[in-house]
Amino acid sequence: MNGAPVFENTYDVAVVGAGPAGLAAGATAAKAGLTTIVLDENPAPGGQIYRAITTTPVRREEILGEDYWDGQKLIQEFQSSGAQLVSGATVWSISRALEINVSQGGQTHLINARWIILATGAQERPFPIPGWTLPGVMTAGGAQTLLKASGLVPSGRVILAGTGPLLWLLAAQILRAGGDITAILDTTPLENYVRALRQLPGFLLSPYFAKGLRLLTEVRRKTRVIKGVTKLEAQGKDKLAEVLFATGSQPATRMAADLLLLHQGVVPNVNLAMSIGIDHRWDELQLCWVPVLDQYGNSSVPGIAIAGDGAGISGALAAAERGRLAAYAAVKALKPEALSHLPAEQILLQALAKAQAGRAFLDTLYQPPKHFRIPEKNETLVCRCEEVTAGQIREMVALGCEGPNQLKSFLRCGMGPCQGRLCGLTATEMIAAERNVSPQQVGYYRLRPPIKPIQLAEIAAMPQSETAVKAVVRG
């Protein structure tokens, strides 16, 4: 893209995020004839699952696998739809009046929209083990990004640890690419297998079953897998040197390591939605906050819908279907005569249901255990940015602190630049556990714009009304 992007003053539909949901939503809205802009913070479209799909140096298709390359269809659909994509654009504020402040090229632009679809996707669930802040400890997703976008593959003494489909997918991709994996430490609780049995029949019919089984078999053939890991620590002086782990009630073992890749599922990235005041609820199965939405993805704020994993973790195929449904609702509201260009609502709903089949099994099997969501050792950092420990949080709760916002005031937990993304779930669950109440009751940090840090100079350059001046400049 040459030159600065042109932002119109108003669009029919503005989509935030160019992952599968955002691409599908943008393409659908544009094809119906609505003026559509998709704003994405990354240098290129694809979100996380299809990261670097237009630029990846990993051309041997068998390395990243067919599920990845499927994304090309979505990119093509988007590129031929007429929707405008702006990359490197960070949306930092959205008002209930559907005004969007987006920072691009060091400048903030104000965009009005008649409809907004948030497709900001998911992030890795925090995995607060002792030593998780050491250099050499990264998320599985981070390693996957390095592979997809840069052709960098883990090498040396590499340990993968955690639970969830992404862990196995990454393991397969690394091994296919010729990378090194010393061991996979599987933290899936053994009792989850029993609990998931009930969901098995539904899962057997889903597309994930055969794929998942093949993946597991492939990885198990090529590398050492240790199941039932109940204890995990990263150790080292100024970088990772060893991983300490134990299974069941066995004594702990140490394994030398250069790289530890952690993963225990993904959770919706809620900061933008919550900063607008969109209602959320705690999901007891997925153990995270999910927005309260209707069947189209419309939220509690009129004119704002959420699509993709940000609506609830369901994977890439479901994300695209949710994107199409959200756009369908936008077209229905803004230009109903164009609905004839789109698949029927029933078709879209059925496609979504099909893509979500088997989800309950995966969610149950891979539900991360409590001792890895809530650190047991008091010295373990919960808030990485402000270096707040589990022990400090327990101490404040014992003093009577009942919620994450008071906690934030007392300990600065959640006040750093990541704005609670890596500590919020842990803080809420810790308080809930200490008080013996539900996370729903405890609540979450009160989030406000900017949902990403923004230069003061950019804020200063925004319009200043006369009343605003009067409110500030006084005696």
Partner 1 sequence: MIPSFKEYDIAVVGGGLVGAAIGYGLARLGQRVALLDDSDAAIRASRANFALVWVQSKGFGYTPYAHWTVRSSNSWADFSALLREETGLDTAFQRPGGFHLALSEEELERRAAYIDQLQSQSPDFPYRVEILDRSKVASMLPEIGPDVVGGSYCELDGHCNSLRLYRVLLKATAKYGGKYLASHRVEAITYKNRAFRLSTSAGEVHAGKVVLAAGNANMRLAPMVGLEAPMRPERGQIMVTERVMPFLRHPVVTIRQTDEGTVMIGDSKEEGTTPDGLNLSISAVMASRAIRMFPLLGRLNVVRMWAGVRVMTADGFPIYDQSETCPGAFVACCHSGVTLAANHALTLAPMIAAGRLDAEVVGAFSARRFHVSKAA
Partner 2 sequence: MFRRLPETSAATVTVSIDGADVQVRAGDTVAAALLAAGVHPYRASTVSGAPRAPYCMMGVCFECLVTVDGVGNRQGCLIPVREGMRIETQHGKREAHR
Q: How far is the CB of 158 from partner 1 (least distance, A)?
A: 33
Does position 469 interact with partner 1 (CB under 8 A)? The reply is yes
Closest CA to 295 of 322, 334, 272, 276: 322
Task: Give the span between the Cα atoms of 425 and 443, in whole angstroms.
Answer: 10
- Alpha-carbon distance 325 to 303, whole Å? 14
CA atoms of 228 and 247, how far apart (whole Å): 5
- By a kind-dependent CB cut-off of 5 to 8 A, residue 239 interacts, out of partner 2, partner 1, none, with partner 2
Footprint (CB under 8 A) of partner 1, residues 89-148: 93, 95-96, 101
Identity of the residue numbered 299: S
* Closest among 172, 156, 162, 157 to 132, alpha carbons compared: 162
Of 406, 433, 434, 440, which one interacts with partner 1 (CB under 8 A)? 406
Q: Which does 287 bind (CB under 5 to 8 A by kind): partner 1, partner 2, none?
A: none
Q: Does 471 bind partner 1 (CB under 8 A)?
A: yes
Partner whose footprint covers residue 468, from partner 1, partner 2, none (CB < 5 to 8 Å by kind): partner 1
Using CB under 8 A, pick the residue from 130, 419, 422, 423 that binds partner 1: 419
The tokens for 235 are: 């150790």
**Residue 454 within binding range of partner 1, rule CB under 8 A:** yes
Residues that bind partner 2 (CB under 8 A): 41-43, 48, 55, 57-60, 88, 123-124, 133-139, 141-143, 145-146, 149-156, 177-179, 238-239, 258-259, 269, 384-387, 416-418, 421-422, 452-453
Q: Which stretch binds partner 1 (CB under 8 A): 34-42, 173-181, 245-253, 455-463?
A: 455-463
Q: State in angstroms the smallest separation of the CB of 9 from partner 1.
A: 17
- Long-range CB contacts for residues 88-91, cutoff 8 Å, separation at least 24: 88/40, 88/41, 88/42, 88/43, 89/5, 89/39, 89/40, 89/41, 90/41, 90/452, 91/16, 91/39, 91/41, 91/272, 91/451
- Alpha carbon distance, N-terminus to C-terminus of the chain: 49
Q: Does 1 bind partner 1 (CB under 8 A)?
A: no
The CA distance from 323 to 320, in Å, is 5
Among 396, 423, 425, 432, binds partner 1 (CB under 8 A): 396
Identity of the residue, 132 or 203, whose beta carbon is nearer to partner 2 in the bound complex? 132
Helix H segments across 32-65? 61-64
Nearest to 265 by CA among 179, 364, 185: 364
Q: Could you say which of 152, 405, 433, 434 contacts partner 1 (CB under 8 A)?
A: 405
Q: Which is nearer to partner 2, 152 or 338 (CB)?
A: 152
**Closest Cα to residue 420, out of 454, 456, 446, 391?**
446
Closest by Cα among 34, 113, 43 to 81 = 34
Q: Which of 80, 150, 253, 409 binds partner 1 (CB under 8 A)?
A: 409
C-alpha–C-alpha distance, residues 390 and 388, integer Å: 7
Residue 30 vs 451, nearer CB to partner 2: 451
Q: What is the binding site for partner 1 (CB under 8 A)?
A: 93, 95-96, 101, 277, 396, 399-406, 409-412, 415-417, 419, 442-443, 446, 448-450, 453-457, 459-465, 467-469, 471-475
